[in-house]
Structure 1
């Protein structure tokens, strides 16, 4: 989810904690838990700082180890111990438990969007992306704001957010059902589909689709029960040529391939040598595929590369030129 939603969820967990008798009777513990829940709701995304290094490192590691099973256990320990340095009178066990819930909820809700997480590390590095909820979902965010208004006007915060989270569980179930209905409609028109990657949008009835068959890739969208196919590509296996094998050694392309489950590839011969391009098919926007990895070679020597989101060819060229400097 986006940062704003994680923040309001952290506050929501802090409100829910008032149902805990120990918390209700101890203002210091209650304040500590509110801080712990806020920090815990953000902690797994601290790896965003990797973007300062470069896109390849960010793409390969964001939502990786910081969202793993060990991290979900370690974050609450670090946060609760740090808070106790400033509020030694707080009940540590209850502070840890509610901070743990905030961290767990962060990772749990992240698996429902199209980006996903490596939440089952160290057992597997597979990306878990259920494609049910958009990165920013207005219903989830506004539900929390309504809860804060009720809290501010005197309603019990614990029961208020217990009700809101009950409603959100139903909302998630409805979204899962809506997604399954989209998959059923796709299978009606593409019965040999082997994999259907569904990406939700901010609108309830609109979904982006990347579909694999044994021989084709389809890029489509679903609007309510209507499946509209935008593009169709032959599913050509990536050849093991010297040019492509060299390009795969580049960190940018390597990071792209570690993350993207559905892509097409191109090799173009240039005056200097070759340009190898891999294009993720999940993120079509206004007829353009913005998430790419590009490697430029002189002979079999890599001279420039880039991976990330770009929305025009001019911007991509500028980024590749900067990479050569």
Structure 2
């Protein structure tokens, strides 16, 4: 989820903690648990700092080890140690358990996005992305804001947030049902599909679709239970080709391939270079595919420049490639 939603979820967990007898009657414990819950709800995304290094490192590692099984314990341990150091006398086990809940909830809700997480590391490095909830879901965010406002106006925080999460649990069940309807509809239209990739949008009635058959990739949209097809591409596995193999040694393309499950690729010969381009098909927006990886090579297959990330125009992409070449 987005940062704002994780923040309000942290506040909600801090309010929910007032149902705990070890918290409810102690203002110091309430403050300690609230701090633990808010920071814990953000902690797995501390790897966002990797963006300062470069996109390749960020894409390859974001929602990786910081969302892994060991991290579910490491973050609460670090938070508990820090809080008990600065707030001596608080009950460490209570702090640990509520911060654990905050971290687990963060990772759990991220699984429902199309981006997903590597939540099963080190058991498996597979990305788990259920494609049910958009990165930012207005219903989830504003329901939290409403519950926080009710608390501010005097309602019992524990009961308020408990009811909130009952409603949100039902909401998630409904969204799973809606996604499954889309998948079943797509499979009726293409019974030979080997993969159906679903990406939710900010609108309840709209999903992005990529349908893969043994020979073709179909890019489509489900809106109001109707599937509209936009483009189709030949499904061509990556070949064992000298140009492609040279490009795959680049860190940006390697990061893209470690993350993207469905894409098309092309090789274009230009005046003084060869360009290898991979395009993720899941994020079509206004006829454009913004998530790409580009590698430019010379005649001897040396890498001249490369880029991976989100770009919304060819002009911007070429500027980024020129900048990489200068660096």
The TM-score range, normalised by the shorter chain, is: over 0.9
CA distance in 2, matches of 1:294, 1:166: 45
CA distance in 2, matches of 1:129, 1:44: 16
Query: Where does residue 49 of structure 1 map in the other structure?
Result: 49
Q: Which runs of 4+ in 1 moved over 2 A?
A: none
CA distance in 2, matches of 1:170, 1:109: 14
CA distance in 1, matches of 2:152, 2:158: 12
1:149 deviates by 1.2
> CA RMSD, aligned part only?
0.6
1:63 deviates by 0.3
Query: Where does residue 66 of structure 1 map in the other structure?
Result: 66
**What is the SS of the residue equivalent to 1:128?**
coil
Are the equivalent residues in 2 in contact too, given 1:294–1:305 (CA < 8 A)? Answer: yes
The superposition leaves residues 8-38 of structure 1 with CA deviations (integer Å, 9 ceiling, x where unpaired) of 0000000000000111122211110000000
Query: Where does residue 140 of structure 2 map in the other structure?
Result: 140
> In the alignment, is residue 177 of structure 1 matched against residue 173 of structure 2?
no
> In the alignment, is residue 311 of structure 1 matched against residue 299 of structure 2?
no
CA distance in 1, matches of 2:258, 2:5: 27
Query: Where does residue 111 of structure 2 map in the other structure?
Result: 111
1:60 deviates by 0.2
Query: Where does residue 158 of structure 1 map in the other structure?
Result: 158
1:191 deviates by 1.2
Query: Where does residue 6 of structure 1 map in the other structure?
Result: 6
1:153 deviates by 1.1
1:110 deviates by 0.1
1:237 deviates by 1.8
Are the equivalent residues in 2 in contact too, given 1:28–1:89 (CA < 8 A)? Answer: no
Question: How many residues of Structure 1 are paired with residues of Structure 2 in the alignment?
Answer: 325
1:72 deviates by 0.8
**What is the SS of the residue equivalent to 1:42?**
helix
Unaligned runs of 5+ in 2: none
**What is the SS of the residue equivalent to 1:41?**
helix
Are the equivalent residues in 2 in contact too, given 1:64–1:119 (CA < 8 A)? Answer: yes
> In the alignment, is residue 198 of structure 1 matched against residue 202 of structure 2?
no
1:89 deviates by 1.4
Unaligned runs of 5+ in 1: none
The superposition leaves residues 169-206 of structure 1 with CA deviations (integer Å, 9 ceiling, x where unpaired) of 00000000000011111111111111111100111110
**What is the SS of the residue equivalent to 2:154?**
coil
> In the alignment, is residue 271 of structure 1 matched against residue 271 of structure 2?
yes
CA distance in 1, matches of 2:179, 2:224: 10
Query: Where does residue 324 of structure 1 map in the other structure?
Result: 325
1:273 deviates by 2.5
CA distance in 1, matches of 2:239, 2:179: 34
1:117 deviates by 0.3
CA distance in 2, matches of 1:202, 1:273: 40
Query: Where does residue 227 of structure 2 map in the other structure?
Result: 227
1:215 deviates by 0.7
> In the alignment, is residue 124 of structure 1 matched against residue 143 of structure 2?
no
Query: Where does residue 260 of structure 2 map in the other structure?
Result: 260
1:52 deviates by 0.3
**What is the SS of the residue equivalent to 2:228?**
strand
Query: Which deviates more from structure 2 when the two are superposed, residues 25-34 or residues 2-11?
Result: 25-34
The TM-score with structure 2 as length reference comes to 0.99
Query: Where does residue 79 of structure 1 map in the other structure?
Result: 79
CA distance in 1, matches of 2:236, 2:313: 25
